[in-house]
Amino acid sequence: MKKDILTLLDLTSDDFEQLFNKAIQLKKRYKQGIPDNQLQGKTVGLLFDKASTRTRVSFEAATAHLGGTSMFINAGDTQISRNEPVKDTARILSGYLDALVIRTYSQAWLEEFAQSSDIPVINALTDSYHPTQVLADLMTVIEHKPDYKNLKISWVGDGNNMCYSWINAAIVLGLNLSIASPEKYSPDKGTIKKDFHNKNTIISYFTDPVEAVKDADVINTDVWASMGQENEQKQRVKELSHYQVNNELLKHAKNDVIVMHCLPAHRGEEITDDVLEGSNSVVWDQAENKLHMAKAILEALLTG
């Protein structure tokens, strides 16, 4: 039976733990120069209609590291751009590939695609969620702070697709998550409440970033205008200017707080250069771990 990862709510807490353990193991083997070939004979497609650096390269490299073959497919070069029905494209690609990584705009389109697909479909970012990124982020947290379920994790800035995926992770794993956003850019609390199923989950909402990061172990942020919101850039910079992750904000967190950003960063906007390059930053580990988490995801979905 095929399994998709469309949001993190598709995973159980055991699924999370298995992916974390596998990704850390694969990273260790890679650093030791031990080759792997779990995907030998497998072909992984990457169907993208949004720009990408880290996600594309990490999944392509992950497939190669495991002995498989990857195939990048620009959605604009396919019959999708000429309105071929989603279910037709899904059925056709299911006959050619062993798994498909999709990066697109609409979560509904992605879900419709997965329903008609016979192969695993992985959400590599939509306007609503970015589950594979948060899996890599949590792997990074575990490397630096193994007791991750007893940490205070803060999100500062736009309540975007990354924020929603952190909320989903908190729901499944029982995390303590504090979110600081202006009301206008806060995640929809009504949508979130109905999904709670872990009694240990604590999700708190603030308009004051200082309150959200008080005694925090982890601080997360992202750009203020995501792809497709470029025409809102100036207005968002104005309205989110008080949500910058800077050294003054870090003073309210724990001394050993780790700072995360999924990149690319707009230095001097959502995060200052000195924090991004500072001793509390783990963003480069975070970026590298996308590779190892991608390997764990592909191995799990393609080999069971």
Query: Is the per-residue pLDDT at 220 higher than 80?
Result: yes
Domain identity same for 225 and 252: yes
- Give the number of domains in the chain: 2
Domain identity same for 73 and 158: no
Residue range 98-110: mean pLDDT, rounded: 97
Query: Is the per-residue pLDDT at 193 higher than 70?
Result: no
pTM, rounded to two decimals: 0.96
Domain identity same for 296 and 223: no
Query: Quick one: pLDDT band at residue 255, thresholds 50, 70, 90?
Result: very high
Q: How does DSSP classify residue 195?
A: T
Q: What percentage of residues in the chain have a pLDDT greater than 90?
A: 92
- Which ranges of the chain does DSSP label H, i.e. alpha helix? 13-31, 54-65, 86-96, 107-115, 131-144, 161-173, 189-193, 209-213, 233-239, 247-250, 273-276, 283-303
The span from the CA of 36 to the CA of 132, in Å, is: 21
Q: What is the pLDDT of residue 225?
A: 83
Domain identity same for 260 and 299: no
Domain identity same for 167 and 114: no
Query: Is the per-residue pLDDT at 16 higher than 90?
Result: yes
Q: pLDDT tens digits, residue range 265-287?
A: 999 999 999 999 999 999 999 99
Range of the domain at 64: 8-129+290-303
Domain identity same for 99 and 117: yes
Query: Quick one: pLDDT band at residue 57, thresholds 50, 70, 90?
Result: very high
Domain identity same for 218 and 256: yes
Q: What is the pLDDT of residue 195?
A: 62
